[in-house]
Each structure stands twice: as C-alpha cells, then as structure tokens.
Amino acid sequence: MKRSRGRPKGSFGKKKREAMAKAQATKPTVFKPRVLTEECEEAILDEETSFLFDEAEEENLSEKLERTIDKAISTLSADLKGLKRDLKEELKSHVRRISKLEKENEELKKRGEALEEKVTKLEKENQEQFALLNKQERFSRRNNVRLVGFAATEHEDCIQIAKSTFAEIGLQDCKIERAHRDGKVVQGRDRHILIKLAFYQDKLYLLRNARNKLQAKPFFLTDDLTLQDLKEKKKWTTQVTALYQAGTKLRFSGGVWRMADGRPYKFKE
C-alpha cells in the first residue's frame, strides 16, 4: 500500500497553531456565566432583603404612629367628655345660684317696695304733723306783733314803748298782756320787741295801718311769724314787691300770701 505524503485533512500546521495560540492569548477575558449569575443573585438578594427590611420598619412605624394617634384621640376624647361633664355641672351650679339670687332679689324688691310705701306714708304723716305743729305755733302767736328796729335804751319799758307806738298808729288804750325784747343778741342790731295783745282785732287794726303811720319812722311793725311761715313769706318777696308796684296788693296771712278777697295768690315758679 502506497503511503500518502502531507498533513492529515483538517489539521493545522505549526505556524498556524502558534498564530491561533497568540490570538487566543490577546483576546479579552470573559467571565463565565456561572460566576456572573452568583454575583447578580447576591446583589439582588441584598436589594430584596434591604427592601423587605425598610418595608417592615415602615409598617412598624406606621403602626406605632397609628397607636399613638389613637391613644391621643382617646385621651383627648376622655378629656373633652370630662370637660363637658364639668361644664354641665358648673352650669347647673350657676343656674341654681342665679335662680336663688333672682328669688332673693324678688323678695328684696318686695321688701323695698313695702319700705318705700312705708317711707312715703311716714313722710306724708311727718308733713302733716309738721303742718299741724306749725299751725299750733301760729295759733300761739295769733295775738303777737313785733316792733322791729326800735333803738334799745337802758332801763326801757317795753310795754310803754308799745303803747306810745300804737297810739301813733291810731289805737288808743290798747290792752297789752306783755312786751319784751326777743331774739339773739347781734352786734350793731337792736333786738325785736315782742308784744302780746289781749285782742286779735287790735292786732289786725295795727297791721293794716302801721305801714302808712310809721312810714317816716326808723322802725316798723310786723306780724310774729313762725320760722316756716317766715321762710314762705321771704320766698316771694321779690314778686310781691313787683306786684305792689304794678298795683296789686297782697297780704301775708295764715302762712300764705293772699289777695284782697282773702284767696291765696298763686305765684309762678
């Protein structure tokens, strides 16, 4: 059998094998799929573990927050209920107190009205008593007259002074019960001579004629008035003077100013 010469079909020569080895040496290293898979699995596992941990922690925190909020709401609700209860009790207490005060106020009002009515009644009675006393005092002075401005002398006889003055007015042999100086001593002013007549008609005659008869004298004759009547007389002096100058004559009698016919004159306030 004849042996063939040359390389077997499909084999490489020495040079070609060296070139292929060199090319294989310079080719970039490629990680094996198994190694890459392990590293990726570890990375993915770490991410999943971290995600699961964060999700669990977030869920736990959320539960804690919910519990805290629920507890706060529960506490606040309890506090509000307690406050509401306290306010109701306080309101009831105030209502009871107000009702009590209103009742007391009503009682005080009734007592006040009763006292006011009583005071009004007492004031009326007091005025009536005062008017009655003034009337009685006026009656006790019914026959009295006063000689005002007559100069005082030592060892004077007031009864004789009164008789001589009455004679000047036109009343002779007037019966005088008593006569004396009256009133407080005031420096520079002579005290009045108080004269009590036996008859009221003599007094009326003297008072009607004294103004004209004693006009030129430094003294004058006037009625013996009570303090209340004197105040009433002086109160209208200005208007009485104006009326006199206008031709209307008034006289003071019985505690009031009267017209010629005896009727009380009504002054304008």
Q: How far apart are CA 198 and CA 200, in angstroms?
A: 7
The answer to whether the CB of 158 falls within 8 A of the CB of 192 is no
**So what's the pLDDT on residue 214?**
94
Higher pLDDT: 30 or 43? It is: 43
**So what's the pLDDT on residue 47?**
56
pLDDT tens-digit map of 191-217? 999 999 999 999 999 999 999 999 999
**So what's the pLDDT on residue 257?**
95
**So what's the pLDDT on residue 225?**
96
Q: What is the mean pLDDT of residues 31-50?
A: 53
141-155 core/surface letters (b: 16 or more CB in 10 A; e: else) = bebbbbbeebeeeee
Report percent pLDDT > 70 for the chain: 80
Q: How far apart are CA 165 and CA 49, in angstroms?
A: 144
Is pLDDT above 80 for 252?
A: yes
The answer to whether the CB of 177 falls within 8 A of the CB of 197 is yes
Q: What is the mean pLDDT of residues 97-125?
A: 93
Tokens 């009337």 sit on residue: 135
Identify the DSSP state of 199: -
Of 211, 206, 265, which is closest to residue 233 (Cα–Cα)?
A: 265
pLDDT tens-digit map of 120-163? 999 999 999 999 999 999 999 999 999 999 999 999 999 999 99
Is pLDDT above 80 for 228?
A: yes
What ranges in the chain are assigned the alpha helix state H?
Answer: 14-26, 33-140, 158-169, 200-213, 227-235, 237-245
> Which has the minimum average pLDDT: 73-77, 147-151, 247-251?
73-77
> What phi, psi does 151 have (nearest 5°)?
-65, 135
144 forms beta bridges with 196
pTM comes to 0.58
55: Cα separation from own chain's centroid: 71
Identify residue 114 by its one-letter amino acid code.
A
141-224: CATH superfamily = L1 transposable element, RRM domain (3.30.70.1820)
Identify the DSSP state of 224: -
What is the signed CA dihedral for 173, 177, 180, 182, rounded to 10 degrees?
-120
Q: Where are the domains of the chain?
A: 59-139, 141-224, 225-269
The answer to whether the CB of 168 falls within 8 A of the CB of 210 is no
**So what's the pLDDT on residue 155?**
93
Q: For residue 105, how many other CB atoms are within 10 A of its CB? A: 12
Is pLDDT above 90 for 39?
A: no
pLDDT tens-digit map of 179-194? 999 999 898 899 999 9
Return the top range by mean pLDDT from 53-67, 73-87, 242-256: 242-256
